[in-house]
Amino acid sequence: MKTVRIGIVVLGLFLNGGASAEQQRGSTVWDGFSGFLQPDWERDFSLTLGVKVWVNEWTRDTFFFENTQVPDLLNGIVIGGLDLSGTIFTNRTDQSPTVQTSDIEPTPIPQLSVRYKWLLLSGSYYPETDFEFRTAQTNFTVTQTLANFTDVRTDQFTFLRTTTAEREEWDAGLGILIHPNVAILGGYKQIDQEIGISSTLDILSNVAAPVTAAPGGRSSSEIEIRGPTIGVAGSVPITGGFGLYASYARGFMDVDITDTNIVAGTSTTRDSDAEYDVAELGFSYTHGTKEFIPFALLSAATVYAGYRWQHIETDFSDVPNTEDRTDTTRGFVAGVNLSF
């Protein structure tokens, strides 16, 4: 499957990674368009290449009682001669979204930033990464009136879901440097996710009666999240090449969701809106190279470490009795940037 990230973070690190080089050459910040087409390439142009490793954990809401999935698991189940096919749940628990938490995966993210005078261009790529989620469990009961219309039978069920997922992201942004250590960036981000779910239904009946084996269920969801973003990034020099960096961006996303019931061979699609937020904060160390190798292309190197948080909230207000669905990826990040 596939998923997303934002270039503002790349920009935040560009500011750190390029600080020493720019200080040696003289910094260029927003000064209008005067002289824009008359470059001093030594002073006005820089390129930063880098890679960061994000040790990220993914948590997501999932709904266990979508009408296209759960009732299908009851088809073919017979308890004491009573066929539960097509049963409507009369008593449910855990009807709100249940949060699933993945394993922790290290993901390398290559990054590129280019500066010309006060104009910045940046991008990054989060390669396809596989995740496994902890098995989720929901308990519920089904109340049935028997054929004689006088006896009522209540059976307990445990619904188990095993979830695996893939995600892939990319972003690109264009910004302006309003201060040697502060920039504003607008961009575009896309996140692709593919969720695979295997379901089983355990029957916990209090009545001794013949029970057929509970069938399994398999479903998948393909989710595409995309849209414009706007943000700010900055760095604060401390001393001796050390500094702080921070960035924040907000996105206004369109979401396309395709849910497929693999066993039944059916699928449903829906479009929605989502709010996207991403933030990163950390420490950096920049070391210039010009004083040691005056004619080298490499002007500075930066190493950094921090914490990154990314959150998506999808609007499900049009679905009765359903809360908005949230998706959060978080974890420590570390990397290196080379500025030329």
Domain holding 311: CATH number? 2.40.128.90
Lowest mean pLDDT, pick from 33-42, 52-61, 97-106, 189-198: 33-42
Asked if residue 304 belongs to a domain, the reply is: yes
Q: What's the average model confidence in pLDDT over 46-59?
A: 96
Q: Cα torsion for 171, 174, 176, 179, to the nearest 10°?
A: 20
Contacting residues for 32 by C-beta, under 8 A, at least 6 apart: none
Give residue 161's pLDDT. 76
The pLDDT assigned to 296 comes to: 62
What does the pLDDT read at residue 318? 79
The pLDDT value given to residue 272: 92
Q: Which tokens go with 63?
A: 């709904």
Cα(155)–Cα(214) distance, rounded to whole angstroms?
A: 14
Q: What is the DSSP code (8-state) at residue 81?
A: T
pTM of full prediction above 0.85: no
Locate tokens 């790349």: which residue? Answer: 10
> Would the pLDDT of 1 be above 60?
no
Q: With bands split at pLDDT 50, 70 and 90, how would you rate the model's confidence at 10?
A: very low
The pLDDT confidence band at residue 24, using thresholds 50, 70 and 90, is: very low
pLDDT-above-90 percentage for the chain: 44
- pLDDT tens for 97-127 read 578 899 999 999 999 999 998 899 999 999 9
Question: Looking at 65-79, 104-118, 122-136, 227-241, which range is the least confident one?
Answer: 65-79
Cβ neighbour number for residue 148 with a 10 Å cutoff:
6
Instruction: Say yes or no to pLDDT of 150 above 80.
Output: no
Identify which has the larger pLDDT, 161 or 284: 284
How many domains is the chain built from? Answer: 1
What band does 305 get if pLDDT is binned at 50, 70 and 90?
very high
Q: How many helices (H) and strands (E) does the chain have?
A: 2, 14
Full residue range of the structural domain in which residue 171 is found? 7-339
**Better-scored residue on pLDDT, 12 or 168:** 168
- Whether the per-residue pLDDT at 224 is higher than 80: the answer is yes
Of 28 and 92, the one with more pLDDT: 28
Residue 1 lies in a domain: no
Specify whether the CB–CB gap between 11 and 111 falls below 8 A: no
| Mean pLDDT of the region 175-181 | 90
Q: Is 256 within the bounds of a domain?
A: yes
Residue 178 covered by a domain: yes
Q: How far is CA 23 from CA 19, 102, 234, 243, 294, in A?
A: 6, 43, 16, 14, 15
For residue 285, tell me if it sits in a domain.
yes
Question: Which of the two residues, 9 and 319, has the higher pLDDT score?
Answer: 319
- Across 49-53, 117-121, 157-161, least confident range: 157-161
Higher-confidence position of 219 and 191: 191
More confident residue, 146 or 3: 146
